[in-house]
Structure 1
């Protein structure tokens, strides 16, 4: 995915998100990367411990906070997502087959369900890390299922984690947009955190529930996404997703 930053008439910046096959309304980790670069290049001024920006996207105006760790100097980017929508549920049989899994790998009785906090993703709960390891996608079938269900991609996850401080481990597949597997994903993380609270996979704490999601181990690009969910099984009021960017490459594009 590639993010383009420009001026905005209604916010501080406008971001547009592109995949190899087209534009999407919102994506979390390119947003974190964009603000990381804006801070690193001195294009935004972070004076206080928390600095608020209003971000224009195709899914609406979103608040973004830059949280400065005074001790380390690291800037964490926190994005407030749109309020979650719990959309359609599906028969898990077709999805198990397309992922090269058996029906027993999918964790019953939790639904295979589309959730959107700005961009719709299908949530597929698995029973174990072994099941997550065993995924062998039929890419054409996954593309057809994404197009039929009108969601961007699949977030396949388990509560079986690698580190004791984590709450879930996920793999995200977006083949219909030319991204077979995504290393670390912000938008699906907001959907996943909402799903976990809604369906009782985590007991809510007040005022917010903090959720840590592992991703990227299968691509040798491990990372973590931090999600805060305000609400419970009866209703979710707010979802925030945060992370820290790291510069791995620089270049110049001539247009």
Structure 2
């Protein structure tokens, strides 16, 4: 079976967030998929196959090196990029653990994904979080999956050197750290740490922008339909364009295939 490595949320190789994309003809053993993801060692490996029913075109599942997850933006973008390049017509509907996700591509090659928004509800400060991050947190919230920590400025986000072991004690899939952007043309910046699911720091996190978009729409007073640009400040870096539409958020970006080959990984079917 074919497997690719795609750099997502970037227009050049060796930037953005790399994801594995494995094309299956039928359902595969979850333990086998987990083993492939552990072998790939990317923050996410996606497994896509034709769907069994008419609600979606393809079934899509995502695995970190340690566990299956409910939602992943960059691996969804990477999968759509591969399918579109193989001639699948846009839009495409993915059946996932987070419902049906529709993905399209415009005439300029920008891929847009219709995702559920996951607004963070303001909470009391998380014990030990500021100490683990090594930075003062001015606002704390929780979404369905993650903790959102807003800090004072972009340079604080950029210079973070957190205690990753201490972050594993935070009861959440991951920790999103964010601040308003300094650079014109960018609205907000972020970084994302998820050591509890085997990802000490994720280069560019689409699903985190399902939390970031509603937060910054509120914080910046942006109405529905107003596009905002987020920049994730990992060492690889990446750009995610976001637009709120009620309880949905459109995430948009580009992707580049860097590896395309054949997977010889034992029996996929259990």
* TM-score bin, normalised by smaller chain: 0.7 to 0.9
Matched, 1:14 2:59: yes
**Cα distance between partner residues in 2 of 1:155 and 1:83:** 15
- Give the 3-state SS of the residue equivalent to 2:181 in structure 1: coil
**Cα distance between partner residues in 1 of 2:73 and 2:213:** 14
- Taking structure 2 as the reference length, the TM-score comes to 0.76
What are structure 1's unaligned runs of at least 5 residues?
Answer: 46-50, 70-74, 231-235
Given the superposition, is the C-alpha separation of residues 135 and 17 from structure 1 closer, same or farther in structure 2, using an over 3 Å criterion? same
Matched, 1:203 2:207: no
Given the superposition, is the C-alpha separation of residues 160 and 33 from structure 1 closer, same or farther in structure 2, using an over 3 Å criterion? same
Greater relative CO (CA pairs within 8 A, separation 6+): 2
Tell me if the contact between 1:153 and 1:176 (Cα under 8 Å) persists in the aligned partners: yes
Tell me if the contact between 1:100 and 1:134 (Cα under 8 Å) persists in the aligned partners: no
- Give the 3-state SS of the residue equivalent to 1:123 in structure 2: strand
Tell me if the contact between 2:50 and 2:58 (Cα under 8 Å) persists in the aligned partners: yes
Matched, 1:143 2:179: no
Q: Which residue of 1 aligns with 2:212?
A: 192
Q: Which residue of 2 aligns with 1:81?
A: 115
Aligned length: 220
Q: Name which of 229, 232, 240 aligns with 1:225.
A: 240
Tell me if the contact between 2:117 and 2:214 (Cα under 8 Å) persists in the aligned partners: no
Tell me if the contact between 2:103 and 2:112 (Cα under 8 Å) persists in the aligned partners: yes
**Cα distance between partner residues in 2 of 1:160 and 1:77:** 23
Q: Name which of 175, 198, 202 aligns with 2:195.
A: 175
**Cα distance between partner residues in 2 of 1:215 and 1:85:** 18
Q: Name which of 106, 114, 136 aligns with 2:142.
A: 114
Tell me if the contact between 1:115 and 1:195 (Cα under 8 Å) persists in the aligned partners: no
What is the RMSD computed on CA atoms of the aligned residues? 1.8
- Give the 3-state SS of the residue equivalent to 1:250 in structure 2: strand
- Taking structure 1 as the reference length, the TM-score comes to 0.80
CA offsets per residue over residues 114-139 of structure 1, 9 Å max, x none?
A: 124xxx22111111122113322212
**Cα distance between partner residues in 2 of 1:17 and 1:129:** 30
**Cα distance between partner residues in 2 of 1:196 and 1:92:** 20
Tell me if the contact between 2:119 and 2:214 (Cα under 8 Å) persists in the aligned partners: no
**Cα distance between partner residues in 2 of 1:133 and 1:242:** 23
What are structure 2's unaligned runs of at least 5 residues?
Answer: 1-43, 266-270
Quote how far apart the aligned CAs of 1:85 are.
4.4
Q: Which residue of 1 aligns with 2:8?
A: none
Quote how far apart the aligned CAs of 1:175 are.
0.7
